[in-house]
Amino acid sequence: MQNVKVAIVQMVSGTQVAENVCTMQRLVQQAAAEGAEWVVLPEYWPIMGKDETDKVAIAEVFGDGQLQTALKTLAAELGIILFGGTIPLQSTDKTKIFNTMLVYGRSGELLGFYHKMHLFGYTGANECYAEADTILRGMDVPELRIDNIAVAQGICYDLRFPEFFRAQLPFEVLVLPAAFTYTTGKAHWNTLLTARAIENQCYVLASAQGGQHQNGRRTYGHSMIINPWGEILASLPEGEGVICAELDTEFLQSVRSKLPALQHRLL
């Protein structure tokens, strides 16, 4: 593993795709201007629709479409690794989409993709979510290596399933775009992210939606970069913006050598 400067983009996406694309481009350009080599976007950055079916209406064919073009063009123009948050891709079920993270290389080439596996469901006093109504879950555990760094991937609700990430070991970095609700985020987001960093002795790059959206939904934000000791290197509570930090190879190796918990695993 080599040292890499990374950036997390936090957004408060609205209902208009064109506006969200412009915001995404501006914030990624800001991240690159600050020296970031890797940039991570949040879940649902292209749209937070008035209805859950709005994302189905804009779903693209894998490999073609304005959202994919915008991501790969930006990666190539800026010469960065771009973790594309999630965009809706057409699935075998016309009423449902894949919620997919696409990763683009410095020449705009596709390095990997992951269809979200665990689908969020929550019913509270004044809110109810059922992603399975509009999303078809992925079936494949992702594998990705960039710049000789093994990268684990998850999307939002995946965070609650530690065995999902253990299935991806060994890795040094965990990337997680999300759109945690304010209710569940306030209760669990920080704890879950920190736990994943500590138990896997890895860097965690968590990019979130963060604020009050046009559709009335409120997301928790608190995008974070966490080191393998569980320390928060950078965080953005709410609102759109960019945070940066460096992934330090020596520090990661030091944590793993002083406390070789991964070597002590029995299951």
Provide the CA 166 distance to its chain's centre, in angstroms: 18
User: β-strands 241-247, 232-236: how paired?
Assistant: unpaired
Give the span between the Cα atoms of 199 and 201, in whole angstroms. 6
Q: What amino acid positions are annotated as catalytic residues?
A: 43, 116, 156
Exposed e or buried b per residue across 117-154, where buried means at least 16 C-beta atoms within 10 angstroms of its C-beta: bbbbeeeeeeeebebeebbbebeeebebebbebbbbbb
Cβ atoms of 196 and 162 closer than 8 Å:
yes
As beta bridge partners, residue 168 has none
